[in-house]
Structure 1
Amino acid sequence: MRTHQWRKSSYSSQGANCLYVSAPDNATIRLRESDEPETILTTTPRALGALIRSAKAGRLDHIGTA
């Protein structure tokens, strides 16, 4: 089994709810959360960039509201 070099987000606090990122190559990015480290999301740099730009622009603010 391949091990990944995980980096903790600089925005994460010292406690729980930390986001970890691993980029084993230029084509994939892996994300996991400290509360459930066995759950790993895999995406591409392009898709993650689009998500981050959408969040920064406020286009996701309505999600989860009734």
Structure 2
Amino acid sequence: MTPHQHPTGWRKSSRSANTSTCVEVGRVAEGAAVRDTKDRAAGYFTTDHRQWQAFVAAIKADRFA
């Protein structure tokens, strides 16, 4: 990831709308950015498209249950 990318379009899952223990996902040119909803000032990490797609596929396959 380019270190000067600033994520845009931060979103929180609609499934976690009534909780405070979740993360938000933003867009960067080469993939996605993830941050803690409770501590946005702590920063974020980024993934490339391939990593993000693998993570989403793992969630959909219920590999984290």
Instruction: Tell me the SS of whatever aligns to 1:16.
Output: coil
Contact kept in structure 1, 2:7 and 2:26, CA below 8 Å:
no
Quote the residue 2:32 is aligned against: 29
Evaluate the alpha carbon distance shift between residue 60 and residue 15 of structure 1 in structure 2; reply closer, same or farther with a 3 A threshold.
closer
Give the aligned length: 60
Rg comparison, structure with higher value: 1
Quote the residue 2:54 is aligned against: 50
Evaluate the alpha carbon distance shift between residue 45 and residue 11 of structure 1 in structure 2; reply closer, same or farther with a 3 A threshold.
farther
The separation in 1 between residues aligned to 2:19 and 2:33, in whole angstroms, is 21
Q: Which runs of 5+ in 1 are unaligned?
A: 62-66
Quote the residue 2:44 is aligned against: 40
- Identical aligned pairs, as a percentage? 27
Evaluate the alpha carbon distance shift between residue 35 and residue 57 of structure 1 in structure 2; reply closer, same or farther with a 3 A threshold.
same
Evaluate the alpha carbon distance shift between residue 60 and residue 9 of structure 1 in structure 2; reply closer, same or farther with a 3 A threshold.
closer
Cα drift, residue 29 of structure 1? 0.7
Equivalent residue letter for 1:33: D
Evaluate the alpha carbon distance shift between residue 60 and residue 17 of structure 1 in structure 2; reply closer, same or farther with a 3 A threshold.
closer
